[in-house]
Amino acid sequence: MRSPQPLADDVIDRLFSALTVRYGGSFLDRWRDLEIDVVKSDWAIELAGFANNLHALRFGLDHLPEKPPTVMDFKRLCHAMPPAAQGIAYDGSVRGPTPDEREALRELSRRIKGGAMFAKPGRQWADDLLRDHDSGWRGDHVFRATPTAVSMARDARRELSTTTEEPFA
């Protein structure tokens, strides 16, 4: 598997400018004993995965900690961008869905309207999700549910276990 290309020099320069403005000399002082071009090169390599996702860099800049970040700190900030924010372009404009995303939305709509998303009766969906989450497997692949999904499944099991009839059956 090929490694992604490092971020472009102009992107790294803009990033360093923004971080220097926000933190002043304390940002650049972290590397006072190193050549700044070597530091920038390291940042370009470490952040290479964001070359096609510059809005994640914007998200990182918008959520900076009090102290100047290392490249690994900044990378974690960028990875923390919620999926809902991924439609926001680097320039702040909102992009529309791609043709593939539109087709996925149409398919999801068809499944919801056809009832395929809610085919499991009662609390069966919650039992299945928690079983798969606890075992770490779903079918032939690794599975981990999000904390929100696990919480919803546990709530559903608790709620449905206190009722005498299954409202979704």
pLDDT above 60 for 16 = yes
More confident residue, 104 or 28: 28
- Confidence (pTM): 0.51
Q: Given pLDDT bands bounded at 50, 70 and 90, which one contains residue 44?
A: very high
pLDDT score at 68: 92
Residue 169: the pLDDT is 39
Q: Is the pLDDT of residue 165 over 50?
A: no
**Whether the Cβ atoms of residue 154 and residue 126 lie closer than 8 Å to each other:** yes
Which amino acid belongs to residue 116? A
**Each residue's pLDDT tens digit, 76-133:** 988 888 765 555 554 555 566 677 777 777 776 666 555 554 556 667 777 887 888 7
pLDDT digits (tens, 9 = 90+) for 49-79: 888 888 889 889 988 999 999 999 999 988 8
Among the residue ranges 35-49, 53-67, 140-154, the one predicted with the least confidence is 140-154
Q: How far apart are the first and last CA of the chain?
A: 47
Write the CB contacts of 79 (distance below 8 Å, at least 6 apart in sequence).
56
Instruction: Report the 3 state secondary structure along 76-121.
Output: HHHHCCCHHHHHECCCCCECCCCHHHHHHHHHHHHHHHHCHHHCCC
